[in-house]
Amino acid sequence: MDKLTVRDFDARDKRVFVRVDFNVPLEDGRVTDDSRIRASLPTIVHLMSQGARVVLASHLGRPEGKVQDGLRLRPVGERLSLLLRRNVPVTGDALGPGTEDAIKRIRPGEALLLENLRFHAAEEKNDPQFAAALASYADIYVNDAFGTAHRAHASTVGIASLLPAYAGLLMEREIRALSSLLEEPEHPYAAILGGAKVSGKLKVLDNLLTKVDVLILGGGMANTFLLAQGKSVGKSLAEHDMVEEARALLAKAEKRGVQVVLPVDVIVAKEVTRGTEYKTLPAEKIPASWHIVDVGKQTLDLIESALRDVRTVVWNGPIGVFEIPVFGAGTRHVARILADKAQAGATVVVGGGDSVAAVQQQGLASSMTHLSTGGGASLEFLEGRELPGIAVLLDRPKPTLVRAESPAPAEPPRVFRPAPRASELAAPTRTPMPAKAPAKSPASATTRGGPMNENPAAATTPAPSAAPAGKPAAPATRKPAGSATRRTASAKRKAGAPKTSARKPAATKRKPASAKRAASAGKRSTAKRKPAATKSAARKPATARKSATARKPAASRKAATAKKAATARKAATAKKSTTTRKSTTTKKSSPARKPASARKSPAAKKPASSARRPAAAKKKPRR
Ligand code: ADP
Ligand code: MG
């Protein structure tokens, strides 16, 4: 799974809506742990230093659709301002004219934080109108909130179908780390699962059993497996209704040749409290009125030897009741072993809020390969499910998409036309395309890019000759998301779809094969269900957007430059088209396409605001 990220578009002057996970613990109106804020700093700093106008949005706690003063984001904004050394104002509400005005006033390189999204019940309902209102604030959507990626909310899913949607740098790290556990992990590979209950992690266990060589079980969940082995666990936490599932999992592990490590000795306590009586006993001899609270020394030795040669480890769930220090020895020991393994070059990923907290308590966070910031999200990811908040982000095309099946024919000259909605265009933009190939086929992009893709102006504008099929959406307009979404097919035809298709037969013919592959790679194309007219208009969203981009304000200067570039591209394309078997990607990075981006890059690297670049941008933010 590879998604386009904030590095894949030119953020300069763009309004970028960034969904972050600032759901941090607060006490007396102060942030007590700012790790989640720090985790998104790389994304925020990247965008600010590029000269983007950043609209940050998050939820905090569970206000359930009502304004709760204790869950306002002001303390978060203050901490963020401290970290960035730059004032980040917080709006009084996520919606409303005041907020809209504040957003209009954001200058390049500045950020603003919307008030708690969950003060509106519409957020968690993924209400289309709420999503459209949020989308109207920006040209581009970025999701850096991995922790809420398993929730289909307005700010994680709804908005992403209205704007070109990219992953933030934290999101990218999470996807990479967790994918490395599911896709071709290095072996030997071990999973350590602990924590409170089997039920919440049953599907993860089931999925990981198909991948790992070693399965280590600890914590409360191991008790249910001890029951499945016919042992008694006294008053320990256990799920008697899950014993059958546990037995089936053990059988599956045996069948697959997975080595399972279960506690052979345990620490038992009279009560699960501090200062209580406790002792170590063999797992077969648990007294009826005692509680298992940790694993014993023999078990830790078994765990250590099972992990001796591992190259990949995933750990989710503490090994004992680690919150009580005397029952935290097992968890601490495992954390130390894993830190050593990671330092020795193994991939070690820790997921789960409590497990991560245990690692952090020991000061071992930076030793691990990756600590996931999303408890529930990381579990769902490890179950092998596609998280809705990730599914909606633009895919990076696979290398197999690079080669076109037939040589690209010479294309007609491209003419940049004045944009009918120039007044709405967000900011001057020069070819904000990544050097890489597109994320989506035009068809699949269309299914997701509603408003922009259906922009009538874009539809009637010929695509630049070298524009790649399905290049990632680079937004040109800031029009309210809702309006264009509701356009009918006939309205689009009226607006110029036939004209477009008449003018672009070559391009239309040239793209279907790769477009189809891209669509199937993305697994989300609904293009097949679309009426023909919609499809034909839809096939060109990226190029159309590009044209729109070239038509942006300052238009005269830029459009002139763009014209020159287009002419240069045309000349180059015409020269090569008869002899070269070209891919869309190759075209994108062909010399003929370079002038625009070459001209663009110095400016992009040094936005006007660079002098005011936040201090945090200059040094790597601590994680
Ligand atoms: P994570 O947040 O890492 O996914 P869980 O939420 O599943 O982990 O479980 C963490 C909780 O499990 C901790 O509060 C810990 O005290 C508890 N726990 C671990 N071992 C035991 C045990 N033997 N008996 C009862 N609770 C346990
Ligand atoms: Mg937990």
Q: Is the bond preceding 464 in cis, omega lying within 30 degrees of 0?
A: no
Same domain? For 169 and 195 the reply is: no
3-state secondary structure of 26: strand
Flag whether 569 is in a domain: no
**With 90 as the cut, is the pLDDT of residue 433 above it?**
no
Average pLDDT in the 257-270 region? 98
Task: Starting from the CA of residue 356, give the closest ligand.
Answer: 1
Same domain? For 315 and 219 the reply is: yes
Task: Starting from the CA of residue 263, give the closest ligand.
Answer: 1
Nearest Cα residue to atom 7 of ligand 1: 195
Find, among 282, 227, 234, 220, the residue nearest to 249 by Cα: 227
CB 175 within 8 A of CB 3: yes
Last residue within a domain, chosen from 383, 402, 423 = 383
Alpha helices in 85-231 (DSSP H): 97-105, 121-124, 128-135, 169-182, 202-208, 219-228
Which residues carry out catalysis?
A: 36, 197, 353, 376
Flag whether 461 is in a domain: no
Cα of 317 to ligand 1 centre, how many Å?
Answer: 6
- Residue to probe by mutation, ligand 1, list 223, 266, 321, most atoms within 8 Å of CB: 321
User: Ligand 1: residues within 6 Å at CB?
Assistant: 194-196, 219-220, 237, 292-293, 316-318, 320-321, 323, 352-355, 375
| Tens-place pLDDT, residues 340-354 | 999 999 999 999 999
Same domain? For 65 and 122 the reply is: yes
Flag whether 58 is in a domain: yes
CB 137 within 8 A of CB 17: yes
d(CA 74, CA 524): 38
Average pLDDT in the 296-301 region? 98
Same domain? For 209 and 158 the reply is: no
| Tens-place pLDDT, residues 5-21 | 999 999 999 999 999 99
Nearest Cα residue to atom 10 of ligand 1: 195
Same domain? For 143 and 105 the reply is: yes
Same domain? For 3 and 141 the reply is: yes
Flag whether 547 is in a domain: no
Q: Which residue has the higher pLDDT, 320 or 577?
A: 320
For the chain, the distance separating the N- and C-terminal CA atoms, rounded to the nearest angstrom, is: 24
Q: Which residue has the higher pLDDT, 93 or 510?
A: 93
3-state secondary structure of 125: coil
**With 80 as the cut, is the pLDDT of residue 31 above it?**
yes
Could you tell me the residue range of the domain that residue 54 belongs to? 1-173
Q: Which of 116-120, 123-127, 266-270, 578-582 has the lowest mean pLDDT?
A: 578-582
Last residue within a domain, chosen from 383, 403, 428 = 383
Of ligand 1's listed atoms, the one at least distance from the Cα of 222 is 23
Model pLDDT, residue 579:
33
Cα of 459 to ligand 2 centre, how many Å?
Answer: 49
Phi, psi of 345 (to 5 degrees): 110, -5
**With 70 as the cut, is the pLDDT of residue 611 above it?**
no
Model pLDDT, residue 164:
98
Phi, psi of 262 (to 5 degrees): -115, 155
Same domain? For 6 and 123 the reply is: yes
Model pLDDT, residue 207:
97
Model pLDDT, residue 398:
80
**With 90 as the cut, is the pLDDT of residue 589 above it?**
no
Average pLDDT in the 568-586 region? 38
**With 80 as the cut, is the pLDDT of residue 190 above it?**
yes
Flag whether 529 is in a domain: no
CB 58 within 8 A of CB 117: yes
Average pLDDT across the chain, whole number? 75
Average pLDDT in the 224-231 region? 96
Given the structure tokens 């007396």, which residue do they identify? 28
Task: Starting from the CA of residue 357, give the closest ligand.
Answer: 1
- Residue to probe by mutation, ligand 1, list 319, 324, 350, 354, most atoms within 8 Å of CB: 354
Cα of 322 to ligand 1 centre, how many Å?
Answer: 8
Average pLDDT in the 145-165 region? 97
Cα of 209 to ligand 1 centre, how many Å?
Answer: 21
d(CA 13, CA 593): 22
User: At 404, is the pLDDT very low, low, confident or very high (cuts 50, 70, 90)?
Assistant: low
CB 291 within 8 A of CB 321: no
**With 90 as the cut, is the pLDDT of residue 378 above it?**
yes
Last residue within a domain, chosen from 128, 143, 173 = 173
The count of domains in the chain is: 2
Flag whether 601 is in a domain: no
**Is the entire prediction scored with pTM above 0.75?**
no
Model pLDDT, residue 399:
74
List residues bridging with 215 in a β-sheet: 191, 260
Same domain? For 242 and 366 the reply is: yes
Model pLDDT, residue 405:
55
d(CA 337, CA 407): 56
Cα of 375 to ligand 2 centre, how many Å?
Answer: 7
How many other C-beta atoms lie within 10 A of the C-beta of residue 127? 16
- Cα separations in angstroms, 454 against 423, 488, 547: 18, 10, 14
d(CA 437, CA 141): 19
Model pLDDT, residue 402:
55
Model pLDDT, residue 273:
96
Q: Which of 160-164, 168-172, 440-444, 512-516 has the lowest mean pLDDT?
A: 440-444
Nearest Cα residue to atom 24 of ligand 1: 220
Highest mean pLDDT among 96-105, 482-491, 562-571: 96-105
Q: Which of 94-108, 161-175, 351-365, 447-461 has the lowest mean pLDDT?
A: 447-461
3-state secondary structure of 165: strand
Task: Starting from the CA of residue 196, give the closest ligand.
Answer: 1
Same domain? For 77 and 140 the reply is: yes
Model pLDDT, residue 222:
97
| Tens-place pLDDT, residues 124-141 | 999 999 999 999 999 999
Show contacts of 508-511: CB within 8 Å, 24+ apart.
508/536, 508/539, 509/409, 510/404, 510/406, 510/408, 510/409, 510/469, 511/441, 511/442, 511/469, 511/470, 511/539, 511/584
Of ligand 1's listed atoms, the one at least distance from the Cα of 196 is 12
User: At 1, is the pLDDT very low, low, confident or very high (cuts 50, 70, 90)?
Assistant: low
Q: 53-57 and 370-371 as β-strands: parallel, antiparallel, unpaired?
A: unpaired
Cα of 430 to ligand 2 centre, how many Å?
Answer: 46
Nearest Cα residue to atom 25 of ligand 1: 220
Same domain? For 123 and 208 the reply is: no
d(CA 269, CA 267): 7
Same domain? For 167 and 227 the reply is: no
Residue type at position 427: A
Flag whether 507 is in a domain: no
Q: In what order do the strands lie in the sheet with 312-316?
A: 259-261, 214-217, 189-193, 312-316, 347-351, 370-371
Q: Which of 51-60, 76-85, 236-245, 424-433 has the lowest mean pLDDT?
A: 424-433
User: At 416, is the pLDDT very low, low, confident or very high (cuts 50, 70, 90)?
Assistant: very low
Alpha helices in 229-310 (DSSP H): 243-256, 297-306
Q: What is the CATH number of the domain that holds 290?
A: 3.40.50.1260
Model pLDDT, residue 403:
57
| Tens-place pLDDT, residues 302-340 | 999 999 999 999 999 999 999 999 999 999 999 999 999
Same domain? For 207 and 337 the reply is: yes
Model pLDDT, residue 161:
95
Query: Dihedral of the CA atoms 274, 278, 282, 286 (nearest 10)?
Result: -80
Model pLDDT, residue 351:
93
Of ligand 1's listed atoms, the one at least distance from the Cα of 355 is 3
d(CA 16, CA 276): 54
| Tens-place pLDDT, residues 537-565 | 333 333 333 333 333 334 444 444 444 44
- Cα separations in angstroms, 80 against 24, 86, 100, 595: 12, 8, 21, 38
Q: Which residue has the higher pLDDT, 416 or 46?
A: 46
Flag whether 142 is in a domain: yes
Nearest Cα residue to atom 9 of ligand 1: 195
Given the structure tokens 């250590």, which residue do they identify? 304
